[in-house]
Amino acid sequence: MPSLVSHLSRYGTVRERVSLSRYTTWKIGGPADILFEPSSIAALSLALQHLKEAHVPWMVIGKGSNMLVLDGGYRGVVIHLSESFATLRQEGTVLIAGGSYSLIRLAYDAVRRSLAGLTYAGGIPGTVGGAVVMNAGAHGSDTSRVLSYARVVWEDGRIETVSREDLEMTYRTTRLQRERGVVVEAAFALTPGEESVLRKEMNAWKAHRLRTQPLQEACAGSVFRNPPGDYAARLIEACGLKGARYGGAQISEVHANFIINRGEARASDVLHLIHTVQDCVNERFHIALQTEVLVMGEG
């Protein structure tokens, strides 16, 4: 591990035994062996080449808003894109944002520039890179509706501009969940709009989210994907599990598809509730709920 730390230090900032609870919105997660923040796209490319050649496992974390890191942490390298990847530029009606740029901030930037297409994202607490990987969405829209292309550094170090079509984006799923890579930039093709109208629309969505979701609590957004033609929250409520607690975790009393950390929750508490929900919904409705959150690390 010391030689790996020394090697990665050539390409960015390296820290050892970092608690990942500081990097997730659930405020849950054990330590990473190494937290690596690359200094540039070229540096990330070289670092990934080395990790592949050395057979070192790695994962990416952005704002950790859609991720459950297990209590044992992560044995390998966690890549975190720093502020050097939080860039933004405009080319006509296209906004091109770096992988670590805040999606909420991007939505507000679009409104200020009288560009329509991102008002749905004004309450999604993730990064641009994470939004592309997960095809993040809300209020009947998602990233695939406005994405033009993404720049990806693949696990072998190749840097490629990948079109929306080639990313194979469907409901909360993309090619990037099957093929390992890091989104370092994304271009959003927007349309002209009226700032006052767009701001009103985004504020209305924000008010709706505040009324219907436990956004003041430590959570990770929707835990389960909605099954075709139904809603995970409805199925969970029908099982009588709204408000159920285990350890320091609780199924939200505001929205049943959210699990909140009441202060001392462990990942194992959250996993227990996830499995309880899946078992009940499967037994009662014969529906296998799939998680929307990514589960990473060791238990």
Cα atoms found within 13 Å of the Cα of residue 92, Cβ hemisphere only: 6
Tokens (6 digits) for 246: 């285990």
* Confidence (pLDDT) at 113: 98
Q: Max Cα separation, the chain?
A: 55
* Confidence (pLDDT) at 86: 97
Q: pLDDT digit string (tens) for 51-82?
A: 999 999 999 999 999 999 999 999 999 999 99
Using CA atoms, how far residue 114 sits from 72, 105, 108, 111, 132, in Å, is 46, 14, 10, 5, 22
Amino acid at 178: R
Q: Which of 151, 164, 172, 266 is catalytic?
A: 172
Q: DSSP labels for 52-63?
A: HHTT--EEE-SS
Q: In the annotation, is 292 catalytic?
A: yes
Q: By the 8 A CB rule, do 13 and 82 touch?
A: yes
* Confidence (pLDDT) at 111: 98
Show the low-confidence residues of the chain (pLDDT under 70). 1
Q: Which of 37, 151, 252, 292 is catalytic?
A: 292
Hey, where are the domains in the chain?
Answer: 2-83, 86-211, 214-296
Amino acid at 113: R
* Confidence (pLDDT) at 46: 98
Tokens (6 digits) for 70: 């297990």
Q: Which fold has domain 86-211?
A: 3.30.465
CA 139 to chain centre: 17
CATH number of the structural domain 2-83: 3.30.43.10
* Confidence (pLDDT) at 299: 78
Tokens (6 digits) for 12: 């960015």
Q: In the annotation, is 222 catalytic?
A: yes
Using CA atoms, how far residue 18 sits from 21, 180, 211, 272, in Å, is 9, 23, 35, 25
Q: How many CB atoms lie within 10 A of CB 194?
A: 11
CATH number of the structural domain 214-296: 3.90.78.10
